[in-house]
Amino acid sequence: MTDRRTKRPAAGRAGYLGAAGAFAVAMAGTTLPTPLYGLYQEEIGFSELMVTVVFAIYAVGVIGVLLLVGNVSDSVGRRPVLLCGLVLSAGSAVAFLAEGGLPLLSLGRLLSGLSAGLFTGTATAYVLELAPPGDRGRAGFAATAANMGGLGCGPLLSGVLARYAPGPLVLPFVVHLGLLAVSFAVTWLLPETVAGARRLRTARPCRPSLPPEVRGVFVPAGIAAFAGFSLLGVFTAVSPAFLATVLHVHDTAVVGLIVFTAFLGSTLGQLLVPRLGTARAIPLGCLVLIAGLALMAASLASTTLPPLVLSALIGGAGQGMGLRGAVGEVAVAAPAEHRGGVLSALFVVAYLGISIPVLGVGLLAELIGLADAGLAVAVCTALLAAASGAYLLRRAGATS
């Protein structure tokens, strides 16, 4: 196989860190509305089911982009795809600023999903490719930490601004637009890493493909990503409702901090992976994830806050271990000319995990109440993680 990287020297640490920073800013925009859903419900008036539907629109946007043009950066280059993603993220912020009801909220979430779909696989590959050979391990952490750290900083930023600054439904998106402008300038200045990149308008939509050498690694990696993102989906989409209706916590700063804790746990979990190795990190991450889900169930059953905070931290750590292990295994197995598409395919599976359980909570909440719906989804996700961990351990034993 030929390596399609350019002959330019690596951009150095500043280059891949700049790309990781833009990655984090784009991902922060996808979770920025999380602590604000309660305010939107008061202003517009819609059910908890509609919150999950609006969230699912975001996931549809992500999955649609990953399926249709998930590997487009392998042919047109990383930079133009990421610049398009930043423009779409800015469009999402503008839609929220012009908010006038569910249609504009839905449009904002759709644009945010399209942006995340362009960024997820492409930015991960770009950060890895910009790094000098000696920094590849750090670059792998920078890519996954930018993804999870950005997702965590979004609700923290909006929650604190909504609580302590004027214009709770305006200022968070104005600040994000400023960060996007800086990220656009940084990305514009970075070198391209795909040799012979074609113009964007000449690209043809193409679904991500799985080369034969990747398929054996992809299945266990995808299972782990699905289970981990299921927990993050519940925290991101419906934790404000859990806190308000079950635990009677209405402070947007607290909501943002708890959601941030889940993504902080994810980042901390990723730090353990170099010591564990990517193959061992995936099944161990599933086991830690089950512990986090058990704490979530305990919080909902007892209507107490501390187990939910621990659930965010521990469950997030399990998700982070599994995600970095999955990305590392898949990226190493994928040929360079297919790396962006293969990573996009991995995140298609992950975002199915972040959307299906959330819709399940919304539908079940209409029938049995929010607390019981959360318990049911937590149990189902724990069973999936247990099955995933058992499969991965059995597979490892069979190949040893």
Over range 197-210, report the average pLDDT: 60
Residue keyed to tokens 């501390």: 306
Residue at 6 is within a domain: no
Give the model's confidence band at 386: pLDDT under 50 very low, under 70 low, under 90 confident, else very high. Answer: confident
Could you tell me if residue 205 is inside a domain? no
SS (H, E, C) the chain: CCCCECCCCCCHHHHHHHHHHHHHHHHHHHHCCHHHHHHHHHHHCCCHHHHHHHHHHHHHHHHHHHHHHCCCHHHHCHHHHHHHHHHHHHHHHHHHHCCCCHHHHHHHHHHHHHHHHHHHHHHHHHHHHHCCHHHHHHHHHHHHHHHHHHHHHHHHHHHHHHHHCCCCCCHHHHHHHHHHHHHHHHHHHCCCCECCCCCHHHCCCCCCCCCHHHHHHHHHHHHHHHHHHHHHHHHHHHHHHHHHHHCCCCCHHHHHHHHHHHHHHHHHHHHCHHHHCHHHHHHHHHHHHHHHHHHHHHHHHHCCCHHHHHHHHHHHHHHHHHHHHHHHHHHHHCCHHHHHHHHHHHHHHHHHHHHHHHHHHHHHHHHHCHHHHHHHHHHHHHHHHHHHHHHHHHHHHHHC
pLDDT at 209: 66
Taking only the tens place, the pLDDT of each residue in 146-175 is 888 898 899 999 999 999 999 899 999 999
Out of 80-89, 91-100, 317-326, 339-348, give the one with best mean pLDDT. 80-89
Q: Is 4 within the bounds of a domain? A: no
Q: CATH number of the domain that 23 lies in?
A: 1.20.1250.20
- Residues of the domain holding 47: 12-194+210-399
Confidence band of 7 (pLDDT split at 50, 70, 90):
very low
Does residue 320 lie in a domain region?
A: yes
Mean pLDDT, the chain, rounded, equals 83
Classify residue 202: in a domain, yes or no: no
Indicate the number of domains in the chain: 1
Asked, for residue 7, whether it belongs to a domain, the answer is no
On whether residue 3 sits in a domain, the answer given is: no
- More confidently predicted of 215 and 283: 283
- Residue 23 maps to a domain: yes
48-85 pLDDT, tens digit per residue, is 777 778 878 888 888 888 788 767 787 788 899 999 99
Higher confidence at residue 331 or residue 183?
Answer: 183
